[in-house]
Structure 1
């Protein structure tokens, strides 16, 4: 029997570039999502599950580049142009269902792992907002991605934002499972005369 005090868990699964049921890929992220009970075989499924008995809610997010036109599929997959929107979508999902004491578990593959790191950075910067409107979540992403000192997590401005808008919790992130993490468009390497190129996988020399 589970103890009554067992915390609610939010599970988030972020797949890699062009990875998702519509491309007939099968990644470790999809396998993990299936283990929670999410139906990955139904093409019209929500990829979301709530299990009150086991006290968790879980959602799977397609990899960057899916869910739009063929041109957007190519462009967004190659450039990660839509990664900001994806980060905001995932952050808003977490904020929508977060309550005091909730544990947040995030899993990501490749660019999905990078996305997880960004979302956790947003939480580190601004906390988890209590009223997650799209405008406010967009503001959180702007603050997180800002180059200005006034927007750093330790700044007085960020501290005031967290006190005013967010849950008073120091460490809502319980676990991050990052598989083959990369930058938003891979790791840049310079090729003489050809400019930068990008690798989707981290070479063994990177730690």
Structure 2
């Protein structure tokens, strides 16, 4: 068993910027914890870190999701734990990644070339349970539980659409633990 720790940063952020919580998490994670468990960190700089207009318009978000998914496909083994941290548009990235894994599963590395197909199936508005089941069976996708999804300043207008504002869809979310802090820190 090992831990796969994904750290996805916000717009215009990278390792050379003023360190965000995502950078601090990536830097603080040891290669091996006190119990001897290996921890592999994936850091993804925010959109716009290398091209200004990407940060303004969010270009590259889909690529960030693909790259994080491919990292997991290359490194995951049954029994591993997955921790996802995201800030701002990086929060969108990890939320989309977790949604992608929930629907299509995690592909074994021998089917890495099908990550685009998995993403298209996930984004398809009229996907059927039969199509998802057929995809999972054909490519041997793993059913994976995400150990932690942690987001700071998530981009609310991206991700799950609000179809009926007064209907609380989040009550039915597939989650084991849920918490959030809406108060300002006393520091």
> Offset of 1:75 from its aligned partner?
1.5
**2:174 matched residue in structure 1:** none
**2:135 matched residue in structure 1:** 161
How is 1:128-207 mapped onto 2 (pairs within 5 angstroms)?
Answer: 128-131=106-109, 135-150=113-128, 155-169=129-143, 171-183=144-156
Q: How far apart, CA to CA, are the structure 2 residues paired with 1:185 and 1:147?
A: 15
Q: How far apart, CA to CA, are the structure 2 residues paired with 1:183 and 1:135?
A: 31
**1:18 matched residue in structure 2:** 12
2:21 matched to 1:28? yes
> Offset of 1:55 from its aligned partner?
1.7
Q: TM-score, normalized by length of structure 1? A: 0.69
Cα RMSD, aligned residues only? 2.2
Q: TM-score, normalized by length of structure 2? A: 0.76
Aligned residues: 158
**1:66 matched residue in structure 2:** 49
Deviations 1:157-207 (A, max 9, x none): 1011112213443x4211111111114769xxxxxxxxxxxxxxxxx7xxx
Q: How far apart, CA to CA, are the structure 2 residues paired with 1:102 and 1:130?
A: 13
> Offset of 1:148 from its aligned partner?
1.9
Distance 1:184 1:20, change over 3 A: farther
Q: How far apart, CA to CA, are the structure 2 residues paired with 1:88 and 1:179?
A: 21
Decide whether the 8 Å contact of 2:92 with 2:158 is kept in 1: no
Q: How far apart, CA to CA, are the structure 2 residues paired with 1:179 and 1:166?
A: 33
Q: How far apart, CA to CA, are the structure 1 residues paired with 2:116 and 2:133?
A: 18
Decide whether the 8 Å contact of 2:121 with 2:127 is kept in 1: no
Q: Counterpart of 2:83 in 1: which secondary structure?
A: strand
Decide whether the 8 Å contact of 2:73 with 2:112 is kept in 1: no
Greater C-alpha radius of gyration: 1
**2:85 matched residue in structure 1:** 107
**1:191 matched residue in structure 2:** none
Structure 1 segments (4+ residues) deviating >4 Å: 183-186
Decide whether the 8 Å contact of 2:4 with 2:80 is kept in 1: yes
Q: How far apart, CA to CA, are the structure 2 residues paired with 1:17 and 1:184?
A: 15
Q: How far apart, CA to CA, are the structure 1 residues paired with 2:158 and 2:152?
A: 16
**1:85 matched residue in structure 2:** 63
Q: How far apart, CA to CA, are the structure 2 residues paired with 1:26 and 1:180?
A: 15
- More strand by percentage: 1
Q: Counterpart of 1:172 in 2: which secondary structure?
A: coil
